[in-house]
Amino acid sequence: MSRIVVNFMHGRGFIFNAEDYLKLRFEYRIVGNLIGVPVSHPRNVNQQGMPVALSAYEVKLLLDKEIITLVDKTGALQRVPSDDQSQQYGAMVEQQKQEMHMPVVEKRLEAFRKHMPRIIEGKRRKLLKSGVKEEDIHLDPEQLLDQEKERIMQEKFDQMVQIPLKYPLTLEFSECSIALSAQEDIKYRVFKSLWQQGGFITTGDAFGCDFLLYPGDPMCFHASHTVHVLAGGVSRKLDAKYLIRICRLSVVVNKLCVIAYVDESSDEVHFETLEWEGNVTNKGDTF
């Protein structure tokens, strides 16, 4: 099986190929984060498009599973392009302009064909007024169409040049790996354990936690759990205010609160689910 190429930049992995991203999402449950704009609606701020940024935990997992190849093209991208590369890119831009120009030309010619009888009649009258005899007037529709096409091709139109999503030219690159700190390694072990149990996992920054756990693809499901990772394991002394804070937070966003930690004695990842019950003694009170 050929590995998917992931570009490593600024401490994160980036995917520029839509098919590669769909394969990671639907076959390996790697969600990532769409950070671009959709090509069909470039001014829509409520939707995201390619490329996709992968977290360090997602990249590490895919490397361990030998699903991707992590490459670093930073050095090649920072170099000044050669003359050949400049010419290749210039030719690609010109080809793109031609491809955008031809639909405009065809639309104008279609309108010209539609009004061809009126155009021929107008030209005939103009020639008669200039003194040309009726029998000397010969107007060929195909010739008129060719003349119109030549005139339109010489006109300048406003054009939008699309910047390529993926670098279009061949670049030198080197394979690389990703290094995690001790605290990040603990979070990675939690992430990997959740992934192996069949969940969809995303970062939980927006909800004040480390990870969000989904029962299915986040496109179709809301997150069911907020996951908080204890870096100190079971030896860490938990503050009551901390527990109240994360439990109340999960209640507000309508999710279950999960505490994850690595047991030093067994070196295994454990999960504890906390559910806020409120003040049980006051449930029967009436006001």
Domains contained in the chain, number: 2
Number of Cβ within a 10 Å radius of residue 160: 8
State residue 280's pLDDT score: 43
Residues 123 and 216 in one domain: no
Residues 207 and 147 in one domain: no
Has residue 98 been placed in a domain?
yes
What pLDDT is attached to residue 287? 30
219 and 127 fall within a common domain: no
Residues 193 and 255 in one domain: yes
Distance CA 231, CA 181 (A): 12
**Inside any domain, residue 33:** no
Same domain? 281 vs 201: yes
Is 207 inside any structural domain? yes
Tell me, what DSSP letter sits at residue 55? Answer: P
Q: Are residues 282 and 187 in the same domain?
A: yes
* Parent domain of 228: 181-286
Q: What is the pLDDT of residue 1?
A: 61
pTM over 0.75, yes/no: no
pLDDT confidence of residue 101: 80
Residues 190 and 147 in one domain: no
pLDDT score at 196: 94
Q: Does residue 170 fall inside a structural domain?
A: no
147 with 188, same domain? no
CATH code of the domain in which 186 resides: 3.40.1350.10
Residue 105 tokens, joined:
């030309």
> Same structural domain for residues 206 and 117?
no
In a domain, 64, yes or no: no
pLDDT in tens, the chain (287 residues): 689 999 998 888 999 999 999 999 999 999 999 998 887 777 777 778 889 999 999 999 999 999 999 998 888 777 888 888 889 888 888 888 888 788 888 888 898 889 888 988 888 888 888 888 888 888 888 888 888 888 888 877 776 667 777 777 777 788 888 989 989 999 999 999 999 999 899 999 989 899 999 999 999 999 999 999 987 766 667 788 888 888 888 888 989 999 999 988 888 999 999 877 754 444 444 33
Q: Structure tokens of 137?
A: 């007037």
Instruction: Note whether 185 and 282 are same-domain residues.
Output: yes
Position 233 scores a pLDDT of 67
What pLDDT shows up at residue 285?
42
- pLDDT at residue 85 in the model: 85
Complete DSSP assignment for 195-255: HHTT-EEEE-GGGTSSEEEESS-TTT----EEEEE-TTGGGSPPPHHHHHHHHHHHHHTT-
Q: Is residue 12 part of a domain?
A: no
Residue 282 lies in a domain: yes
Q: Is residue 27 part of a domain?
A: no
Is residue 222 domain-shared with residue 278, that is, in the same domain? yes
Same domain flag for 219 and 136:
no
